[in-house]
Structure 1
C-alpha cells in the first residue's frame, strides 16, 4: 500500500478586515478540490471571507491560484484528521474534505475512512467552539448499489461494508451519524447534502469517474471502457448547479437537519453517455466492453423532491450545455494550457 503524507496540527490566528454588511466568515475544508474550489469562488463572489484548508493529496493549488492574492481569501495546508485550532470568529463550515475519486480513495482506505470520521469530528468540534453552522458534503454512495430508483433520502441503502468502496461509502455514512447525533445532543447547527455525480471544469483528468474518463479518452482517441456493457445508469449535475444547491442548503433557515439529495434527476445509461461524449468531442474512439468493478452501483438517480420543496432548488444546466465548457477544459488540460471558464446560459435541465 502506498503511504500518503500526514500533516501536523497547525494553528491559525487571523484578524479579518472589518466585517462588511452581510459578510460571512466561511471555512471550506477540501477547498482546493473540484467542488471546493468552485465553492470558494462562489463565496468570494458573494462578498464573504473564506479560509480554505486542504492537504493537497487530491486538491490542486492551480484550482485556487486565482484567489491567493484576494484580501478575503486565506489558504492553509492541513489534513483534517488532525485537530485544527483556529482563533477568530467563524460563521460557516463546509466539510468537503475527502477524495471522491474511487481510484484515489481506494489508494489509502484507512486514511479515507479517517478523513470521513475523524475529520468530521474535528470540524464539528470547531463548529461547536465557534458557534458556526456546518455542512457535511455526503454522497449518493451512502445508498450503495440501490434496489430502488430514484433514491429518496429515507432509503437506507444497500452497502457492502467490506468491499473496495466501503472506506468511502461507510465513512460517509458514519459522518452523517456524527452530524445527526451531535446536532441532537449538543445542538450544533448542521446540514447534510447527499451529492450525486457532478461534473465540470477543474475535475482532475485522472479522476477515474465516468465523465473525466470518457472525455479525456475521447479527446485522445483512446478506447472508451463500458464496464459491464454500460447498462448501469448515472445522473449528472453540472458543478454550478451543485454549488447553488450547497449554498441554498447552508443558508436555509427552515430546511431542518435531515439529509437532502442534490443532483440532476436526468438519468442516462453509461453507454448513452459514451455516445454523447464521443459525438461532442468529434471523436472516433472505439467503445470496448470490460468487466464491471466490484460493488459498482447499477443505478444512480436522485429523488430531489426534498430539495425542491424545502430549498426551492433544482438544477438548470442541461447535460450537453454543461459538457461544452467541460470538454473545453479537458482539452486545455491535456494540451497543458490554462483556460478561463465562461458562464453558461441555463437551458432546460434533463
Structure 2
C-alpha cells in the first residue's frame, strides 16, 4: 500500500527483521505512518504478516548498500524519523558475506544519513554491544573504547558498526543531521530466526524439538538478555528524547547470567529431558557481556521491565506455534551469537 504524498512518514530500514518488525508494529500502534525498507536477505517476510494490510504501513524492497529506491528518495521531504536497523546481526549471517556486512554498515548508513540530511529527519543508528569486543571493563559503559579484534572473522560487523557510529557523529558535529546512536545488547523474543545463531533461538528450538542441546565452551560465558518489547520502547525513547545526540546510549538488560543458567531457565518452561553437548567457543566470542545503562536511565527514564521468565515463556510459546505450523525447520547448529 502506497501512503499518501502529503503525510509525514517514519522510515524503518531493516524493518522486516526481528527487532525491526516489532518496531514497525509499535510505531503503527502509536499512530505513525511507517515505511519499511528491507532487502529480505536475513529477514523473514512472515514477520510482516500482521502489518501488510495496515492502512498506515508500506513495504519497499531495497538494499541500502545500493542507491535508495525511488519510492524512498522521491518522498525525502516527508520523512521526519529514520531508524537504521538494516544489517545482519548474528555471526553466521554477517560472516556469510562479510563484504556486504561492512558495506551495509558504512555505505548503507551514509545513504540513510544523506536522506536524513535532505529531509531534515532525525536519524537513529542501531549499533551494537559488539563495539566493545571481548571487554576488559565490566559492565560496559559507553565511554569504554572496547577490545575488538579489528582483523578477525567478526570484524566486518564490529568494525562496520564502529565506522557507522563515527560517520553518524561526524554528521552531527557538522550540523548535517540530528542523530541518535543506540548500542544494543542481547535481545530476544518472537520473530527471531530459528537458525540465526543467537543463543536463545538455538537453545529454545533445540529443546522444543528434542534435539541435543549445543553449548559452546563450558557455559560459563555470560550475557544479559533484553526482551524485544523493552528494546523497542528504548529505541523509541531514544529517538524522541530531548538529547543533543553527541553520545551513544547503551540499551540492554543489566541482569547478567551464564549460558548454563539461561538453559536452566528455558528447561523450566519446556520441561523435557535433554542431552547437552559442549563444543569449542567460536573465535573472539566475548566471555562476559553486561551493559551499564546508567545513561539510558538518567536521560531517557528507561530500563527493561519484562522478567526473563515472562519473556522466555512468550518466546517458547511463539517458537512452539511456528514449529507446529511448519514455518520453522530444525535449526542448524551454529555458534552462539553475542548479539
- TM class by shorter-chain length? over 0.9
* Conserved 8 A contact 2:181-2:245: no
Q: Distance in 1 between matches of 2:131 and 2:272?
A: 35
Aligned twin of 1:72 = 56
1:62 corresponds in structure 2 to: 46
**Distance 1:141-1:53 versus aligned 2 partners, 3 A rule:** same
Mapped pair 1:140 → 2:124: no
Q: Structure 1 residue 163 and structure 2 residue 147: aligned?
A: no
2:30 paired with 1:46: yes
> 1:12-70 deviations in whole A, cap 9, x for unaligned?
9x662664xxxx51000000000000000011000010010000001121111221122
Asked whether the equivalents of residues 160 and 166 of structure 1 are also in contact (C-alpha less than 8 Å), the reply is yes
Output the CA distance in 2 between the equivalents of 1:288 and 1:233: 18
- Report the CA distance between 1:254 and its aligned residue: 2.9
Q: Is it true that 1:267 corresponds to 2:256 in the alignment?
A: yes
Residue correspondences, number: 322
Is the counterpart of residue 31 in structure 1 residue 20 in structure 2?
A: no
Q: Taking CA–CA contacts closer than 8 Å with sequence separation of 6 or more, which of the two structures ends up with the larger relative contact order?
A: 2
Equivalent position SS for 1:214:
helix
| 1:107-140 per-position Cα deviation (integer Å, ceiling 9, x unaligned) | 0000000000000000001001100000000000
Mapping 1:187-226, distance limit 5 Å: 187-226=176-215
In structure 2, distance between residues paired with 1:225 and 1:171: 29
Structure 1 residue matching 2:174: 3-state secondary structure:
helix
The 3 A distance-change label for structure 1 pair 293 and 15 is: closer
Specify every segment of 5 or more residues in structure 1 that has no aligned partner in the other structure, as ranges: 1-11, 339-350
Deviation at 1:283, TM superposition (A): 2.0
- 8 Å contact kept, 1:236–1:266: yes
Give the corresponding residue for 1:5.
none
Moved over 3 A (4+): none
TM-score, normalised to structure 2, is 0.92
Partner of 1:16: 4
Which structure 2 residue ranges, 5 or more long, are not aligned? Answer: 328-339
Equivalent of 1:81 in 45, 65, 74: 65
- Alignment partner for residue 186 of structure 1, among 169, 175, 181? 175
Measure, in 1, the Cα distance between the counterparts of 2:262 and 2:273.
Answer: 15
What root-mean-square deviation, in Å, do the aligned CA atoms of Structure 1 and Structure 2 show? 1.5
CA contact (8 A) 1:143 1:158 kept: yes
CA contact (8 A) 1:255 1:310 kept: no
Deviates more, 1:164-173 or 1:60-69: 60-69
Question: Against the structure 1 CA distance between its residues 263 and 15, is the aligned structure 2 distance closer, same or farther, given a 3 Å change threshold?
Answer: closer
| Structure-2 residue corresponding to 1:6 | none
Is residue 223 of structure 2 the alignment partner of residue 228 of structure 1? Answer: no
Residue 187 of structure 1 and its aligned partner are, at CA, apart by 3.2
